[in-house]
Amino acid sequence: MADEHRITSGVAVVTGAGAGLGRALAITLANKGLKVAGIGRSAAPLQDLSEELDESFLPVTADVADPASVTAAMAQITAKWGTPDILINNAAVYPHRDILDETPESFAQTMDINLGGVLHCCLAVLPDMIARGHGRIVNISTFADVAPAPTAAAYSVSKGAARILTRALIADLGDRFPDIVINDWIPGALRTQMGIPEGIAPEDAAQWGARLATWRDPMLTGRVFDRDTEVLAPLSAKRKLLNRLTGRRQTPLRLS
């Protein structure tokens, strides 16, 4: 990572910062010298984190599913520290419900948080990033849309739609604002309340995520990372043959 593409100061916003990966990301970014605003629905976990990180952390209670709440949260952050340089959309819910037990209301609630939350936060920070000429957005993603698990319809659909939203943001902004760098990052199965007991420690995954979030090279826009490794786009049969004949190899980028 070249020095000119490394973010070593400024303001990072992490949603879902009260626990799990969001908490670990907030701690890791603060330890890298950034001021971190952590957004969450519950005040107590954020206050605990504020006591641990002291002046480098700003607890902000807000509901990402509510655009008015997000607007107020970003105004609070900007008034305290200035406009955000980094946004990590981490907040999500994972209700385990059979599709026959879903209601229109329960399904919509998951969509409002997992998809709507990403949209609301992006729309809240983008005007200032555009005015400044640069910014960094990392959307926490999964492969749930590729292979939905049982009792996870709302989660799988909402996270899949969020991946499409990332691509749509890039389609609209990429050419006009190349220094606003946007990615999806898939941290893998984590040892968290939403994850699995044998999963990756969130503190370990946060090292990858923080490295990606503080890497502001325009060539990263649109690239997807799975844990610490770039997910390469599939090649056509013709391209595979050409690469074999010319000796070219696709080498994924690494975060560690």
The residue ranges of every structural domain in the chain are 3-246
Residue-level pLDDT at 144: 93
Report pLDDT digits (tens) over 8-25.
999 999 999 999 999 999
Between CA 28 and CA 51 the distance in angstroms is 15
pTM: 0.94
Q: Which residue among 117, 137, 139, 155 is the active-site one?
A: 155
Residue-level pLDDT at 188: 93
Residue-level pLDDT at 2: 52
94 is an active site residue: no
Report pLDDT digits (tens) over 163-201.
999 999 999 999 999 999 999 999 999 998 888 899 999
Residue-level pLDDT at 4: 67
Compute CA 52 distance to the chain's CA centroid, rounded to the nearest angstrom.
Answer: 23
Domain covering 3-246: architecture: 3-Layer(aba) Sandwich (3.40)
Print pLDDT tens along the chain (256 aa): 556 689 999 999 999 999 999 999 999 999 999 999 999 999 999 999 999 999 999 999 999 999 999 999 999 999 999 999 999 999 999 999 999 999 999 999 999 999 999 999 999 999 999 999 999 999 999 999 999 999 999 999 999 999 999 999 999 999 999 999 999 999 999 998 888 899 999 999 999 999 999 999 999 999 999 999 999 988 677 777 777 778 778 899 999 8
For the chain, the three-class secondary structure string (H helix, E strand, C coil) is: CCHHHECCCCEEEEECCCCHHHHHHHHHHHHCCCEEEEEECCHHHHHHHHHHHHHHEEEEECCCCCHHHHHHHHHHHHHHHCCCCEEEECCCCCCCECHHHCCHHHHHHHHHHHHHHHHHHHHHHHHHHHHHCCEEEEEECCCCCCCCCCCEHHHHHHHHHHHHHHHHHHHHHCCCCCCEEEEEEECCCECCCCCCCCCECHHHHHHHHHHHHCECCHHHCCCEEECCEEECCCCCHHHHHHHHHHCCCCCCCECC
